[in-house]
Every structure is written in structure tokens, then in C-alpha cells.
Amino acid sequence: MKMNLPNKLSISRLIMAFLIALVLLFPFYLVDINIPKILVNNILVVDIRYIIAGVLFIIASFTDLLDGRIARKRNLVTNFGKFIDAIADKVLVNTSLIILSAQGFISPAIPVIIIARDTIVDSIRMIASSNGTVIPAGKAGKIKTVVMMIGLSLTFFYNLPFELWNVDVSNVLLIIAVVLSIYSGIEYYYLNKDKLV
């Protein structure tokens, strides 16, 4: 199968998701690699691993914006493209949520709710698809994704610069994303429940 540009972008996003996991989970001390930490404003210790992961996450998020636009504009939409795009999105966001939760940066409730909602919505899509119906993403779900990406990016960057002013923007954005996720999931069900019979 010939890979078009949108599919390559989706695969690059998938690779970056695994690189984020590697950067944050690999025990570098076992191979005598010392990852530096920097002191910001004499109060905040910043581990460079999270900055690297944050840069990768932002680049990966940007590819998510690009691949769909390029595919539609150049008429390069394929079944494989839809499949790999959805997989890359889920792996990128869920990997980041789980790791940040496990390492104490965010509440465990956030990945639990987001992953549970996505599982329900994906199940509805799968049932509808088996009946020949393609359900597009709703507006609330798209807004949720943007808010989630910004919130996670800020979390990787220790909520800077807002942390210096004691304003917890990253967690507020993630909570808004969770609320939007629940709302869009309920909306998704009610708009498509007739397709489940």
C-alpha cells in the first residue's frame, strides 16, 4: 500500500506517542544517563524529560490538525487513513493521560473518565458502522479535543508560565475537557441511539 502524506503524519504521531512514553518511563539512571533538572524562579524544579515530552506532544498534536485537513483538501481520504488517524489520536492522548496520572501530575479520575467515554463512543461508532452508517465527530467532541491538547501541553510544561502566578490553568483546562467529554458522550448517545437497534 502506497502511503500518502496524511497517513505518514498519522504514523509519525503514533511514533511520537511511543517516544513520549519512552522519555518519561525509561530508567535512564540504569544506563548512567543523568537527565538534568532546572530550578525556575527558585521555587519550581523542572525535569527536562517532561519538557522534551511536551515538545513531542505539541508536534504530534499539530500533525493531528494537519493530516485531516490535507486529506480532505487533496482528496486523499482512505479507510486506512481514518483507521490510523483514530488509533494515533487515542494512543497519543491516552498514553499521556495515564503516564501523567501515574506520576502524580493529574488526577486518576481524568484518564478513567476520558478513556471510558471514548470506549463507549467508539462502540456506538462500531455498531453504526456495521449497519453502514458513518457517524462524524460532534462539535463538543472537537472542542473537547482542543481543550485537552492545550491542557496536556501545559501539564507537560509544569503549567508554566501560569504556575509562577499560582494560577492552575492546566488542571482547569483538563477538568473542562472532562466535562465536555461527558457532555459530548451523552449527546453522542442520544443523537445516535436509534442506530443501536
* Helices and strands (H and E) in the chain: how many: 6, 2
Separation between Cα atoms, residue 13 and residue 150, nearest integer Å: 16
Query: What's domain 5-196's architecture?
Result: Up-down Bundle (1.20)
Please report, in tens digits, the pLDDT of each residue of the chain (197 residues total): 568 888 999 999 999 999 999 999 999 989 999 999 999 988 899 999 999 999 999 999 999 889 888 888 888 888 788 788 889 999 999 999 999 999 999 999 999 999 999 998 888 878 877 766 666 667 888 899 899 999 999 999 999 999 999 999 999 999 999 999 999 999 888 887 777 66
pTM of the model: 0.91
Quick one: pLDDT at residue 52? Answer: 97
